[in-house]
Amino acid sequence: MMQSNLLTIIANKLRGVGHRMIERTWRLGVGARLFGLAIVYSGESFKRFNLTLREIYFTGVMSLLIIVVSAFFVGMVLALQGYNTLQKYGSSEAIGVLVALALVRELGPVVTALLFAGRAGTAITAEIGLMKATEQLSAMEMMAVNPIARVIAPRFWAGVISMPILATIFSMVGILGGYLVAVPLIGVDDGAFWSQMQANVDFRLDIVNGLIKSLVFGVACTMIALFEGFDAPPTAEGVSRATTRTVVISSLTVLALDFVLTSFMMVV
């Protein structure tokens, strides 16, 4: 009797795991289909580029403040920490290179993507989720207006365009923050700070690779936010859970993708 109960419990657990796996695979498929449709209907939305511009304002421009402030502090902390280590080896003039490389190659794209997921990604998910809950997407469908072309594609491209620009601004402001700490505050030589940076930061290997990363993160973060909103159950709880999932999944995806991209970039 006890053995049979145990078997039932194990079978139920396994069934639960299987059910969750099927559900996640199904969601992945639906997400991929939404991504495909967003690409297919991009042409339609590009014809009215003002829709994308409007979304660039909401996702990109409205994220500027958080990006600039964070970048400034990240740059300053990098300079402080970097100087602390570099001076032990007598190479404190290399502080400019350290700050620039750390920002351009890693922190710029990654931290921007994490902040973007928290600021713009959640806003996108909540907006789309509420549009679904209040039947705005259904209303659009019934008016013979394709919601993918009208709502999803412009937001997708706005995210993809905004992310590299935000990452570039992040790196620039971060370097400025690092400069303010390293040169006026600590007293590192001004010329050495900039010249070492100029000599050691490679345009293709560092800057272009950083931009590629931010572009990939832009696609991932925006698509996750859009999918979670589009797939959210049309209830208050459903939208709130979808918003949380956007932050969690986007953050983990960005960190995982960063590792994969960095490995490929190192090899190439």
Partner 1 sequence: MTTNIVEIDQLSFGYKGRLLHQGINMVFPRGKVVAIMGGSGSGKTTLLRLIGGQIKPSKGEVRVAGEVVHQQDRDGIYKLRRKMGMLFQHGALFTDLSVFDNVAFPMRELTDLPESMIRDLVLMKLNAVGLRGAHQFMPTELSGGMARRVALARAIALDPEIIMYDEPFAGLDPISMGVICGLIRSLNDALGATSIIVSHDVKETFLIADYVYFVADGVVAAEGTPNDLMQSTLPFVHQFVHGEKDGPVPFHYPAANYQSELLSQQVD
Give contact residues for partner 1 (rule: CB under 8 A).
Answer: 130, 134-136, 138-139, 141-146, 150
| Side-chain-facing half-sphere of 66: CA atoms under 13 Å | 15
Q: Which is nearer to partner 1, 2 or 144 (CB)?
A: 144
Beta carbon of residue 225, minimum distance to partner 1 (angstroms, whole number): 17
Q: Which is nearer to partner 1, 142 or 267 (CB)?
A: 142
CA distance 170 to 206: 15
Rg (CA), the chain: 23
Cβ-contact 239, 122 below 8 angstroms: no
Cβ-contact 177, 79 below 8 angstroms: yes
Q: Which is nearer to partner 1, 1 or 142 (CB)?
A: 142
Instruction: Measure CA 49 to chain center.
Output: 23
Q: Which is nearer to partner 1, 51 or 197 (CB)?
A: 51
Q: Which long-range contacts (CB under 8 A, 24 or more apart) does 145-148 make?
A: 146/41, 146/44, 148/34, 148/37, 148/38, 148/41
CA distance 52 to 177: 32
Cβ-contact 183, 197 below 8 angstroms: no
10 Å CB burial of residue 229 (0-12, 13-18, 19+) is: buried
Beta carbon of residue 38, minimum distance to partner 1 (angstroms, whole number): 16
> Quick one: tokens of 136?
């705005």
CA distance 128 to 231: 9
Q: Which is nearer to partner 1, 22 or 199 (CB)?
A: 22
Beta carbon of residue 98, minimum distance to partner 1 (angstroms, whole number): 45
Q: Which is nearer to partner 1, 14 or 139 (CB)?
A: 139
Beta carbon of residue 127, minimum distance to partner 1 (angstroms, whole number): 8
Beta carbon of residue 144, minimum distance to partner 1 (angstroms, whole number): 4
Beta carbon of residue 62, minimum distance to partner 1 (angstroms, whole number): 14
